[in-house]
Structure 1
Amino acid sequence: MILLRSIAFNIVFYLVLFVYLIAALPTLLMPRGAILAMVKNWSALNLTMLRVMCGLTYEFRGIEKIPAGAVLVASKHQSMWETFALLTILKDPAYILKRELMWIPFFGWHAWKARMIPVDRGARSQALASMTAHAKKEVAAGRQIIIFPEGTRRAPGAEPKYKFGVAFLYNALDIPCVPVALNSGVFWPRRSIMRYPGVVRVEFLDPIAPGLDRQTFFNQLQNDVETATAKLVAMADRDVGLTHRDG
Structure 2
Amino acid sequence: MMTPIQRVRALLFSVQMYPMMFIIGLVYAPWAIFSKTGARACCKAYSRWIFWTARWMVGIRCEVRGTPPEGEVLIAAKHQSFLDIMMIFTALPTAKFIMKKEILRTPVIGQYAKLLDCVAVDRGKRGAAIEKMVKDVESGRQDAGQLIIYAQGTRVKPGVKADYKVGTAVLYDQLKQTCVPVATNVGVMWPRKGIARFPGTAVVEFLEPIEAGLDRREFMETLERRVETASDDLMREVGFDPDSVG
- TM-score over 0.5 for the alignment? yes
Q: Secondary structure at the match of 1:73?
A: strand
Q: Secondary structure at the match of 2:102?
A: helix
- Tell me how far apart the structure 1 counterparts of residues 151 and 107 of structure 2 sit (CA, whole Å): 26
- Tell me how far apart the structure 2 counterparts of residues 157 and 235 of structure 1 sit (CA, whole Å): 14
Q: Secondary structure at the match of 1:147?
A: strand
Counterpart of 1:100, as a letter, is E
Q: How far did residue 114 of structure 1 move?
A: 1.2
CA RMSD, aligned part only? 2.0
- Tell me how far apart the structure 1 counterparts of residues 12 and 214 of structure 2 sit (CA, whole Å): 47
| 1:124 is aligned to 2:126 | yes
Q: How far did residue 246 of structure 1 move?
A: 9.7
Counterpart of 2:187, as a letter, is G
Contact 2:80 2:155 in 1 (8 A): yes
Match of 1:9 among 13, 21, 24: 13
Over 3 Å counting, the alpha-carbon distance change for 1:4 and 1:10 in structure 2 is same
Contact 1:150 1:163 in 2 (8 A): yes
Match of 1:95 among 73, 97, 100: 97
Q: Secondary structure at the match of 1:134?
A: helix
Runs ≥4 in structure 1, deviation > 6 angstroms? none
Please give the TM-score of this superposition, normalised by the length of structure 2.
Answer: 0.91
Matched residue count: 241
For residues 104-158 of structure 1, give each alpha carbon's deviation from its aligned partner in whole angstroms, at most 9, with x where no partner exists.
3443222111111111112222211221122224444221001111111111110
For residues 182-237 of structure 1, give each alpha carbon's deviation from its aligned partner in whole angstroms, at most 9, with x where no partner exists.
10010001212111111012211100000111111011101110011111111111
- Tell me how far apart the structure 2 counterparts of residues 10 and 147 of structure 1 sit (CA, whole Å): 26
Corresponding residue of 2:46:
42
For residues 62-101 of structure 1, give each alpha carbon's deviation from its aligned partner in whole angstroms, at most 9, with x where no partner exists.
12xx443111111111111011111211000011101121
- Tell me how far apart the structure 1 counterparts of residues 202 and 108 of structure 2 sit (CA, whole Å): 29
Range moving further from structure 2, 229-238 or 88-97: 229-238
| 1:152 is aligned to 2:169 | no
Range moving further from structure 2, 103-112 or 79-88: 103-112
Identity across the alignment (%): 36
Unaligned runs of 5+ in 2: none
| 1:33 is aligned to 2:37 | yes
Q: Secondary structure at the match of 1:237?
A: coil
- Tell me how far apart the structure 2 counterparts of residues 59 and 103 of structure 1 sit (CA, whole Å): 30
For residues 12-52 of structure 1, give each alpha carbon's deviation from its aligned partner in whole angstroms, at most 9, with x where no partner exists.
11121122233343245412211111111111111011011
